[in-house]
Amino acid sequence: MTDRYAVIGNPISHSKSPLIHTLFAQQTGQDMSYEAIESPLDGFAATIQRLRDEGYLGCNVTVPFKFEAYKLCNRLGNRARDAKAVNTLVFRDGEILGTNTDGAGLLADIEKNLGIKLMWKDALLLGAGGAAAGVVWPLFNAGAGVDIANRTIEKAQLLADEFKGSGTVYARRYEELAGRKYDLVINATSSGLSGELPPLPDGLFKPGALAYDMMYGRETPFMAYARKQGAEIVSDGLGMLVEQAADAFYLWRNVRPDTQPVLDLLRK
Ligand code: ATR
């Protein structure tokens, strides 16, 4: 019987994950299916139970259910524990196992695909919601100094407080950014969805800097701003999406797909 997987979100119709996993399965000769399932906003746990009852082997979880998924798990990987959010579930031996591959996906895209080492770099993370929480530990662990800027400074401070004592993660108000310079600015806000730009000053980018928007599928105001401000590399989040999918695929199937041909195809 074909092994079944899915991605659960709301909304979910725009998701590229079914295409990505279908391409991975073809490439590695795996007999599996992967579909997009929209869960009612108040029915995530019931949706997961239905999948388990129907014999699905695992799923990905996306907006807005990553925190709920975290709470449903019987066992967690470190990355999920750090992020307090889960994007990959495995249903095994009557248990729900969870981890988070988003941060590793971002790192793989920046270091492997874009060729930029994070060690000793100054990074600015914009936003302090779920998307930001999933990547702040991986950025820190890769050796970057991280400033977190957010409109609601209390949320940035909560994230930064997890690193108290280590001294390399700071919460900043947007107004405090004037005069600071970064090797890497990552937009993890949802501002692009509404066509907005966080209130960023001029002169944020060091020479050779990378501007990375975790959104994909459109040119966001942040990307346009970064080009105008002279960021050397401006990237959307499609590579991160493909890389986090590859990590999930590996956890489910024990086979590591080659991401580059899939990324090339999606970019066409
Ligand atoms: P997600 O899971 O995508 O991170 P979220 O938890 O709702 O979604 O978080 C959205 C993030 O985008 C928040 O950091 C939010 O800032 P606030 O915490 O101050 O609300 C940020 N955000 C959304 N729209 C923004 C805008 N126009 N300018 C700046 N930040 C914005």
pLDDT tens by residue, 7-27 = 999 999 989 999 999 999 999
- pLDDT category of residue 1 using cuts at 50, 70 and 90: confident
CATH classification of the domain holding 202: 3.40.50.720
Q: Kindly state whether residues 87 and 158 are assigned to the same domain.
A: no
Q: Kindly state whether residues 117 and 207 are assigned to the same domain.
A: yes
Q: Kindly state whether residues 212 and 134 are assigned to the same domain.
A: yes
Distance from Cα 191 to the centre of ligand 1, integer Å: 6
**Of these residues, 16, 66, 155, 164, which one is catalytic?**
66
Model pTM greater than 0.85? Answer: yes
CATH classification of the domain holding 77: 3.40.50.10860
Given a contact cutoff of 8 angstroms between Cβ atoms, the answer to whether 89 and 61 are in contact is yes
Distance CA 136, CA 144 (A): 10
Nearest CA to ligand 1 atom 11: 189
Q: Kindly state whether residues 155 and 217 are assigned to the same domain.
A: yes
Nearest CA to ligand 1 atom 26: 191
Q: Kindly state whether residues 51 and 134 are assigned to the same domain.
A: no
Overall domain count for the chain: 2
Range of the domain at 27: 3-102+240-260
Q: Kindly state whether residues 45 and 59 are assigned to the same domain.
A: yes
Q: Kindly state whether residues 71 and 134 are assigned to the same domain.
A: no
Residue 111 confidence (pLDDT) above 90 = yes
Distance from Cα 126 to the centre of ligand 1, integer Å: 9
In a domain, 69, yes or no: yes
Q: What is the pLDDT of residues 25-79, one digit of tens each?
A: 999 999 999 999 999 999 999 999 999 999 999 999 999 999 999 999 999 998 9
Distance from Cα 128 to the centre of ligand 1, integer Å: 7
Ligand 1: which residues within 6 Å by Cβ? 63, 127-132, 150-152, 155, 189-191, 196, 198
Provide DSSP, 5-55.
EEEEESS-TT--HHHHHHHHHHHHT--EEEEEEEPPTT-HHHHHHHHHHTT
